[in-house]
Structure 1
Amino acid sequence: MIKSFQRHPWALNTMLLGVILIAVLLSAKFGQVDLTVAQVLDGAFGAADKAESIIVRELRLPRIILAIMAGASLGYTGAALQGLLRNPLADPGVIGVSATASLGAVIAIYMGLTALHPLALPVTAMAGALVATVILMVLASRDASVLTLILAGIGISSLATAAMSLVMNFTPNAITVQEMVMWMLGSLENRTFGDLMLAGPFIVLGWLMMIGVGQGLNALSLGEEAASTLGIDLKALRWRVILGTAFSVGATVSICGAVGFVGLVVPHIVRAFVGFEPRRILLPSALCGAAVMVLADILTRLPIGHGQLRLGVVMAMIGAPVFLYIVFKTRESMR
């Protein structure tokens, strides 16, 4: 089957679309009020009663769409960054966008802006992501080498993490600190179409910036000199990937919090089916990321004791063992 996917990449994409469709139906079905598939379809098309229509259209549909967009963004940008940096351990957090977006959200909670308007948190989180992008552009404007981008991202991420710790340290209210921590653990609960209208355009803008980078990433896999010889504008390629990641991931983090492992693990899973050519990995990584995110969001609704699972915790519980298995298998194949 794996060889068949390598010869026909569309087969894997079709299978992943089927998985997404099944995951969407399950996500719309399960919750505090369980619905049948027929009730879900009736609610989506306005044929159900008012209560069921509200549950499907206003509560679960925005959550599903955001999960798909967030997972696709993390999966696609993870694959693109691993191709750009030629590092299988790269993920969207490597350029510091996730950390600065989280810092913006923490500051909004600390200042009480979330009590003034529900969209204050995603707005400040996206502002944090924009700050990281501007800093990265300034630092790497004269030398946009891979090493410069990595070092700048590490510096920005470390500074943002330290700033978050400082804000939490000076927060006098334990409840506020708990709210910060719970947001950073990630969730798609209670998301609305207002959140979608706010973050969606930035996510799509990031996608548009990265359209067509596959050919450049393929050439870059041969080395920078070979890519330049083939006519690839490496500086433009780097900025398209970096800015596209900044917009899409920054907007994603602003809505669902800091969710790890999707951008790191998903490209590795896809490579097992389609090989190591960067261009062939991009679209399947987006589809696989969307499916994983929707399924993980379903797991957050499971009743566990007196609490509730958070999206970031679920992804860590799934992603960490998968990643360790991938590392083990890679090590075995290299012997």
Structure 2
Amino acid sequence: MRPLPLAAALCALVLALLAASLSLGYAPIPLRALLGAGDPLHVMVMQQIRLPRAALAALVGAALGLSGAAMQGYLRNPLAEPGLIGVSGSAALGAVIALQTGLAAAFSLALPLMALVFAGGAVGLILLLAGPRGGSLTLILAGIAVSALAGALVSLALNLSSNPYATFEIVFWMMGSVADRSLEHLALAAPLIALGAALLLTTGRGLDALTLGEDAAQALGVSLGRLRLTLLLGTAAAVGAATAVAGAVGFVGLVVPHLLRPLCKARPARLLWASGLGGAAMVLAADLAVRLVLPDRDLKLGVVMAILGAPLFLHLIYRTRRGV
């Protein structure tokens, strides 16, 4: 599919889902309330509740989809996803510590800030473990080690927790959700996700060259060290910010690039922006389903994404096997 029609179709889908997310819910509200027109109660709900939720759903999906496409392109592995390098697990560890120590109750933005600090620390540790000249295999091993350590520490915090309320909050936060988020969360996450996306989008040329192999990419003038550093920093900023405000939302960075790769003719540079738009559409659709399917229950976004993403990914695997 040509880039322009694909971009137009994905942008139209994201805008349609964004409009549906703003107007639909427990009680339908006209979109004019977004501009301050109409019932004051509708205006308050639209601007203070639905706008941050819809915007964060789109940003989180874009961050995860774009990061997943970048990781798969760099590692040349269709099973790669943003959590492979331990950023999301480390961000979750920071959030768990904020909840366990009571910082989240004392300061509203303590949880996302702690998550961002730990995500940045994870990238620093991965760079230290992988070394300045480490290849993709070293990066994978370092990421797995950091992710396993973060997961073990999260389990330890849950195991030793003496506060049942903190444990309850930790478990529900780790399920992933964009509900009850404010404009403060949006203001915190949006600049970092935008920075991470800008860094990742600059890796397109290098990822295209890398499809020919590392030696060929270097012969074409691609600096693999700079490419890896840009990829890690961009993924840390985008995924760290997304995890900080939404918790653990899986399968987006894994499934979306697979769905869109045939439409992009398997070109990593084209797949980057397509996966960003596709990820935004998928998370917006999943969050809309959360609000409409069981409006009286606190159904979590991460649970819905796992229910939808796992069968879809299994179908993609089966289709790939048949093609082979």
1:120-160 Cα shifts (integer Å, max 9, x gaps): 11011111101101101211233331011100000000000
Letter aligned with residue 260 of structure 2: V
1:15 aligns with 2:5: no
Decide whether the 8 Å contact of 1:299 with 1:309 is kept in 2: no
Equivalence map 1:180-191=2 (5 Å): 180-191=170-181
CA distance in 2, matches of 1:92, 1:142: 21
| Matched residue SS, 1:321 | helix
* Offset of residue 14 of structure 1: 0.7
Partner residue in 2 for 1:218 = 208
Partner residue in 2 for 1:285 = 275
Distance 1:330 1:194, change over 3 A: same
Alignment match of 2:305 (pick from 272, 296, 315): 315
Distance 1:181 1:156, change over 3 A: same
Partner residue in 2 for 1:267 = 257
1:28-72 Cα shifts (integer Å, max 9, x gaps): 12223222xxx22x1111122211111111111111111111111
Letter aligned with residue 24 of structure 2: F
| Matched residue SS, 2:291 | coil
Task: Report the count of equivalent residues.
Answer: 324
| Matched residue SS, 1:100 | helix
| Matched residue SS, 2:178 | coil
Partner residue in 2 for 1:329 = 319
1:150-209 Cα shifts (integer Å, max 9, x gaps): 000000000000000000011112222111010000010111110011122211111222
1:76 aligns with 2:66: yes
* Offset of residue 305 of structure 1: 9.1
Q: Kindly, what percent of the aligned residue pairs are identical?
A: 45
Partner residue in 2 for 1:159 = 149
Alignment match of 1:24 (pick from 14, 18, 26): 18
Partner residue in 1 for 2:244 = 254
1:224-245 Cα shifts (integer Å, max 9, x gaps): 0111111111110111111100
Decide whether the 8 Å contact of 1:302 with 1:309 is kept in 2: no
The 4+ residue runs of structure 1 with deviation greater than 6 A are: none
Decide whether the 8 Å contact of 1:43 with 1:49 is kept in 2: yes
| Matched residue SS, 2:84 | helix
CA distance in 1, matches of 2:40, 2:295: 32
TM-score by length of 1: 0.94
Letter aligned with residue 10 of structure 1: L
Letter aligned with residue 23 of structure 1: L
CA distance in 2, matches of 1:209, 1:189: 28
**What is the aligned-residue RMSD (CA, Å)?**
1.3
* Offset of residue 213 of structure 1: 1.1
Partner residue in 1 for 2:35 = 45
Partner residue in 1 for 2:76 = 86
1:142 aligns with 2:153: no
Decide whether the 8 Å contact of 1:144 with 1:238 is kept in 2: no
CA distance in 1, matches of 2:114, 2:25: 30
CA distance in 1, matches of 2:310, 2:201: 30
CA distance in 1, matches of 2:289, 2:160: 34
Letter aligned with residue 82 of structure 2: P
CA distance in 2, matches of 1:140, 1:303: 45
Unpaired stretches in structure 2, ≥5 consecutive residues = none
Unpaired stretches in structure 1, ≥5 consecutive residues = none
Letter aligned with residue 75 of structure 1: G
Letter aligned with residue 33 of structure 1: A
| Matched residue SS, 2:37 | coil
